[in-house]
């Protein structure tokens, strides 16, 4: 049994259990910083530290695709739209960008583009490079040349309507030059120059008003004023450099389209460059970084975009980021401080994560008082002790991380940290380290109040049930009052308020009022209708993140079928617990394992949930409260001849990469599986197809060549 600190372990050295625990920690930390950055305009960590956390999350997900969570940073963007503004649903989602940090990362980005498109290694891939402005993302919608709506990015799908405020920004054209597309959605960044920011702060200080933290926060806060006259008095500027919905193309390349935006009256960054290799991109990054202080506005890196728009279309998107673009960020900042203590936090699955309590220090303009230590192995590896002087960095973790110890300043008598052998919860249940696990876990399971609370917090979170007005603070208060113990109890709060709490209703309690209570109960009622993927994720099953929940919803389509098949798979697994191959267990279990990106590790955690009586009881009670679990609707089902079909790709294809083949199949509504079973409809074979083609022949599954698949996809053959 090893007790390793997962936060400090390289991604490729994590076991599956360690990776799951680390992804859970990263998801929670990143979500908190997203809220601080996008909603409150009050980030606590530097961009480089945040980027490092996101990068680590992506690296672990790449190595363990079956562990991708439904609340993963890779499948969400930003934070939900704040109250006070109308909501705007983006016609085309406003996605974030994947990040690169080194020259090797940039070379890998270009290599992935070549590989996906099946381009020769020496073929030129033209890429547009431009400064990454540190501002607030904005979408401007024009119809017949007139600005009709402006919206913030929000969570990528829904933003805030800030049209009235944007009308006060001089850089934003209110009418476009002749020849603009009938519908044109321009995207870009609202920002302040540093000179304007300093003048504004001087004016605010002279009037005795609160000054602004930095230009980015100043721009975001100014744009999101409920009083547009305040926005009008702020020196906001706008760069336009991208687009969303279009009635006609702006050009055939990124460079051509970018210039077209300038012709239409938008200010575009002037330091952009068209590059032909990874080496040119890295050189551009170094040049811009060297001139960073001379550039009048803040930048935090460089953005690279594949120039050809037809290639962008083929490359498409991951859940959260485009494959045809990446951001090459600047380096993180570090600071030295004293570690006063090491505490332990307990997650919803019992994972115990050590946290450094720091003497407050400013890192990259943000005051840091706590930092992640990831797990006990990492504490031991770095030999972090109470009283040590430590180096803190805001890079890959949302909560800043301890990079190392300044041994020359270690105080006399400092002793190594001992991980707790009992949970810090009131039950003081024992902790354990399972063989190969990355983290120590509390053995109290659902008896542990810390785990109960974290599971409830997870259930109400944005990518799960998304109950507005019911956050961690409120969940803890209701739990401590004994009002809620399982998710089903949340849906009974309104009835409880009318009956048990009649003499002391929620409206009369501290922090609540008639309006806030009415909004809370309305938000809860609205979640009696929940999409299947959200429902699956909200259950908090170990290793089932947002992406995995979507895979399950896409495959099983309805809650009834998913639950029935999972219960059957759980029975099959319980009968053969020592089996090492899916086909040794049973049909339902094998079907689960055959879903693309889901293997036996994830399947075992899913069936473990469905084999546990307490979990099933909580599930039944929840089903009684959620009256409508919306089935998964497969895209292009009516038009595509392969919609609903299960397909497996194997071998090497001549005209497309396997990744491109999978993306195209899913876009047409097909199910892509990772292994062949009796329920497979087609196995598409290329060169060196191997064992999957052999198994397809044994099972009598129809085998298609690449050309036959493309003909079927296009509807040329039945």
- The pTM for the full model equals 0.59
pLDDT at 493: 95
For residue 640, being part of any structural domain is answered with no
Torsion 565-566-570-573 (CA) sign: positive
For residue 475, being part of any structural domain is answered with yes
Query: Is a pLDDT exceeding 80 seen at residue 461?
Result: yes
Query: Is a pLDDT exceeding 60 seen at residue 78?
Result: no
For residue 429, being part of any structural domain is answered with no
pLDDT at 66: 67
pLDDT at 528: 94
Is 139 in the same domain as 285? yes
Strands (E), 606-675: 628-630, 646-650, 671-672
Written as six digits, the tokens of 223 are 């744009």
Final residue of a domain: which of 633, 668, 688? 633
Q: Which of 1-15, 65-79, 583-597 has the weakest average pLDDT?
A: 65-79
Taking CA atoms, 96 is separated from 42, 54, 74, 521, in Å, by: 19, 11, 9, 33
Final residue of a domain: which of 362, 391, 409? 409
Is 337 in the same domain as 307? no
Is 585 in the same domain as 670? no
- 254 vs 39, higher pLDDT: 254
- Please check whether residue 382 is in contact with residue 10, taking contact to mean a CB–CB distance below 8 angstroms: no
Query: Is a pLDDT exceeding 70 seen at residue 35?
Result: no
Query: Is a pLDDT exceeding 90 seen at residue 20?
Result: no
- 20 vs 43, higher pLDDT: 20
Q: Which three-class secondary structure state does DSSP give residue 2?
A: coil
Query: Is a pLDDT exceeding 70 seen at residue 396?
Result: no
**Residue 352 belongs to a domain with what CATH number?**
2.40.50.140
Query: Is a pLDDT exceeding 80 seen at residue 82?
Result: no
Neighbouring residues of 614: CB distance < 8 A, sequence distance ≥ 6: 446
Greatest Cα pair distance, the chain, in angstroms, is: 82
For residue 1, being part of any structural domain is answered with no
Neighbouring residues of 347: CB distance < 8 A, sequence distance ≥ 6: 21, 24, 25, 28, 353, 451, 454
- Please check whether residue 231 is in contact with residue 168, taking contact to mean a CB–CB distance below 8 angstroms: yes
Confidence at 74, pLDDT banded by 50, 70, 90: low
pLDDT at 138: 96
Query: Is a pLDDT exceeding 80 seen at residue 213?
Result: no
Q: What is the dihedral of CA 293, 299, 301, 306, to 10 degrees?
A: -120
Query: Is a pLDDT exceeding 90 seen at residue 192?
Result: yes
- What does pLDDT average to over the chain? 87
Confidence at 636, pLDDT banded by 50, 70, 90: very low
pLDDT at 111: 93
The candidate with the shortest Cα–Cα distance to 548, out of 19, 109, 96, 158, is 19
pLDDT at 474: 93
Distinct helix (H) and strand (E) counts, the chain? 25, 24
Query: What does residue 362 show for φ and ψ, rounded to 5 degrees?
Result: -90, 125
Angle between the N-to-C axes of helices 658-667 and 706-713, in degrees from 0 to 180, rounded to the nearest 10: 20
pLDDT at 397: 38
Among 3-7, 211-215, 336-340, 393-397, which range has the highest average pLDDT?
336-340
- 42 vs 678, higher pLDDT: 678
Strands (E), 430-583: 431-432, 441-442, 529-531
- Separation between Cα atoms, residue 293 and residue 111, nearest integer Å: 32
Nearest 5°: CA angle at 591, between 590 and 595?
A: 110
For residue 367, being part of any structural domain is answered with yes
| Burial group, residue 69, by CB count within 10 angstroms (0-12, 13-18, 19+) | buried
Is 296 in the same domain as 342? no
- Please check whether residue 247 is in contact with residue 106, taking contact to mean a CB–CB distance below 8 angstroms: no
For residue 432, being part of any structural domain is answered with no
Confidence at 308, pLDDT banded by 50, 70, 90: very high
pLDDT at 251: 95
Q: Which of 52-66, 259-273, 643-657 has the weakest average pLDDT?
A: 52-66
- Separation between Cα atoms, residue 378 and residue 520, nearest integer Å: 41
Final residue of a domain: which of 353, 384, 409? 409
- Separation between Cα atoms, residue 21 and residue 453, nearest integer Å: 17
667-694 residue pLDDT tens: 788 888 888 888 899 999 988 888 888 8
pLDDT at 679: 85
- Please check whether residue 355 is in contact with residue 399, taking contact to mean a CB–CB distance below 8 angstroms: yes
94-143 residue pLDDT tens: 988 888 988 999 999 999 999 999 898 888 899 999 999 989 999 999 99
Is 215 in the same domain as 132? yes
356-386 residue pLDDT tens: 999 988 776 667 888 888 888 889 999 999 9
For residue 439, being part of any structural domain is answered with no
**Residue 153 belongs to a domain with what CATH number?**
3.30.470.30
pLDDT at 429: 86
SS3 string of 133-183? Answer: ECCEEEEEEEECCEEEEEEECCCCCEEEECHHHHCCCCCCCCECCCCCCCE
Written as six digits, the tokens of 696 are 């397809």
Written as six digits, the tokens of 175 are 């009418």
- Separation between Cα atoms, residue 613 and residue 564, nearest integer Å: 15
pLDDT at 113: 95
Is 175 in the same domain as 197? yes
- Please check whether residue 59 is in contact with residue 411, taking contact to mean a CB–CB distance below 8 angstroms: no
pLDDT at 620: 95
Q: What is the dihedral of CA 470, 476, 480, 485, to 10 degrees?
A: 70
Q: Which three-class secondary structure state does DSSP give residue 239?
A: strand
Average pLDDT estimate for 593-605: 89
pLDDT at 1: 34
Query: Residue 83: enclosing H or E segment and its boundaries?
Result: none
| Burial group, residue 355, by CB count within 10 angstroms (0-12, 13-18, 19+) | middle
Q: Which three-class secondary structure state does DSSP give residue 678?
A: coil
Is 293 in the same domain as 153? yes
Confidence at 39, pLDDT banded by 50, 70, 90: low
pLDDT at 154: 85
Query: What does residue 70 show for φ and ψ, rounded to 5 degrees?
Result: -70, -20
Is 511 in the same domain as 453? yes
- Separation between Cα atoms, residue 593 and residue 287, nearest integer Å: 49
pLDDT at 571: 95
Q: Annotated catalytic sites, by residue?
A: 132
Is 372 in the same domain as 513? no
Is 303 in the same domain as 392? no
For residue 569, being part of any structural domain is answered with yes
The candidate with the shortest Cα–Cα distance to 301, out of 119, 87, 130, is 130
- 681 vs 320, higher pLDDT: 681
What is the domain extent for residue 398?
6-76+332-409
Is 152 in the same domain as 275? yes
Query: Is a pLDDT exceeding 70 seen at residue 40?
Result: no
Query: What does residue 593 show for φ and ψ, rounded to 5 degrees?
Result: -65, -25
- Please check whether residue 645 is in contact with residue 670, taking contact to mean a CB–CB distance below 8 angstroms: yes
DSSP H helical ranges for 384-424: none
Confidence at 309, pLDDT banded by 50, 70, 90: very high
Query: Is a pLDDT exceeding 50 seen at residue 346?
Result: yes
What are 705's strand-pairing partners?
685
| Side-chain-facing half-sphere of 714: CA atoms under 13 Å | 7
Taking CA atoms, 549 is separated from 60, 135, 457, 668, in Å, by: 18, 33, 18, 20
Taking CA atoms, 15 is separated from 52, 261, 435, in Å, by: 21, 48, 10
State how beta strands 682-685 and 646-650 pair. Answer: parallel
497-538 residue pLDDT tens: 999 999 999 999 988 999 899 999 999 999 999 999 999 999
pLDDT at 500: 93
**Residue 661 belongs to a domain with what CATH number?**
3.40.50.10190
Query: Is a pLDDT exceeding 80 seen at residue 320?
Result: no
- Separation between Cα atoms, residue 513 and residue 506, nearest integer Å: 8
Average pLDDT estimate for 613-627: 92
Domain count, the chain: 4
Neighbouring residues of 94: CB distance < 8 A, sequence distance ≥ 6: 77, 137, 139, 153, 154, 156, 159, 187, 244
Is 61 in the same domain as 183? no
Q: Which three-class secondary structure state does DSSP give residue 504?
A: coil
């Amino acid at each position: 049994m090893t007790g390793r600190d997962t936060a400090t372990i390289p991604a490729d050295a994590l076991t599956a259990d360690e990776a799951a625990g680390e992804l859970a920690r990263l998801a929670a930390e990143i979500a908190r910083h997203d809220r601080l950055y996008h909603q409150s305009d009050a980030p606590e960590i530097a961009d480089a530290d945040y980027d490092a956390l996101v990068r680590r999350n992506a690296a672990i997900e790449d190595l363990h695709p079956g562990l991708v969570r439904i609340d993963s940073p890779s499948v969400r963007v930003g934070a939900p739209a704040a109250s006070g503004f109308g909501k705007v649903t983006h016609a085309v989602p406003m996605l974030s960008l994947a990040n690169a940090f080194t020259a090797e990362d940039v070379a890998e980005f270009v290599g992935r583009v070549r590989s996906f498109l099946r381009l020769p290694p020496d073929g030129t891939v033209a890429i547009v490079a431009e400064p990454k402005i540190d501002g607030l993302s904005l979408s401007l919608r024009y119809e017949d040349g007139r600005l009709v709506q402006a919206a913030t990015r929000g969570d990528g799908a829904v933003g805030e309507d800030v049209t009235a405020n944007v009308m006060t920004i001089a850089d934003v054209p209110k009418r476009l030059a002749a020849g603009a597309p009938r519908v044109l959605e321009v995207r870009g960044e609202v920002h302040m120059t540093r000179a304007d920011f300093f003048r504004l702060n001087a004016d605010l200080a002279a009037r005795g008003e609160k000054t602004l933290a930095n230009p980015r926060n100043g721009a975001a806060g100014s744009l999101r004023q409920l009083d547009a006259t305040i926005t009008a008095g702020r020196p906001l500027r706008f760069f336009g450099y991208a687009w969303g919905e279009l009635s006609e193309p702006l050009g055939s390349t990124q460079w051509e389209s970018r210039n077209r935006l300038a012709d239409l009256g938008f200010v575009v960054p002037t330091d952009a460059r068209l590059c032909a290799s990874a080496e040119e991109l890295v050189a551009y990054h170094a040049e811009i970084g060297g001139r960073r202080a001379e550039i009048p506005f803040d930048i935090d890196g460089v953005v690279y975009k594949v120039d050809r728009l037809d290639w962008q279309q083929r490359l498409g998107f991951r859940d959260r980021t485009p494959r045809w673009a990446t951001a090459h960020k600047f380096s993180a900042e570090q600071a030295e401080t004293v570690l006063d203590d090491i505490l332990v936090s307990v997650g919803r699955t019992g994972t115990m994560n050590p946290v450094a309590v720091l003497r407050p220090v400013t890192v990259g303009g943000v005051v840091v008082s706590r930092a992640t230590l990831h797990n006990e192995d990492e504490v031991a590896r770095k030999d972090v002790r109470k009283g040590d002087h430590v180096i803190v960095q805001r890079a890959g973790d949302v909560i800043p991380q301890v990079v190392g110890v300044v041994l020359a300043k270690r105080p006399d008598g400092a002793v190594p940290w001992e991980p707790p052998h009992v949970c810090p919860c009131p039950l003081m249940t024992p902790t354990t380290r399972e063989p190969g696990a990355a983290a120590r876990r509390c053995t109290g399971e659902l008896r542990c109040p810390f785990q109960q609370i974290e599971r409830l917090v997870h259930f109400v979170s944005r990518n799960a049930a998304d109950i507005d007005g019911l956050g961690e603070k409120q969940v803890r208060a209701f739990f401590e009052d004994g009002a809620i113990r399982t998710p089903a109890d949340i849906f009974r709060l309104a009835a409880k308020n009318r009956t048990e709490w009649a003499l002391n209703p929620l409206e009369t309690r501290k922090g609540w009022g008639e309006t806030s209570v009415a909004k809370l109960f309305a938000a809860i009622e609205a979640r009696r209708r929940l999409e299947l993927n959200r429902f699956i994720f909200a259950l908090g099953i170990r290793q089932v993140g947002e992406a995995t929940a979507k895979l399950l919803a896409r495959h099983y389509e309805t809650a009834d079928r998913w639950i029935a098949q999972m219960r059957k798979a759980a029975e099959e697994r319980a009968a053969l617990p020592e089996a090492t191959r899916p086909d040794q267990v049973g049909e339902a279990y094998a079907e689960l394992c055959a879903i693309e990106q889901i293997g036996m590790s994830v399947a075992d955690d899913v069936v473990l949930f469905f084999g546990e009586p307490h979990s099933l009881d909580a599930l039944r009670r929840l089903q009684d409260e959620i009256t409508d679990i919306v089935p998964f609707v497969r895209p292009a089902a009516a038009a595509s001849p392969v919609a609903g079909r299960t397909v497996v790709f194997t071998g090497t294809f001549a005209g497309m990469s396997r990744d491109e083949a999978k993306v195209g199949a899913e876009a047409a509504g097909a199910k892509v599986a990772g292994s062949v079973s009796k329920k497979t409809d087609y196995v598409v074979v290329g060169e060196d197809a191997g064992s999957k083609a052999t198994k397809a022949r044994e099972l009598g599954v129809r085998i298609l060549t690449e050309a036959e698949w493309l003909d079927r996809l296009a509807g040329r053959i039945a």
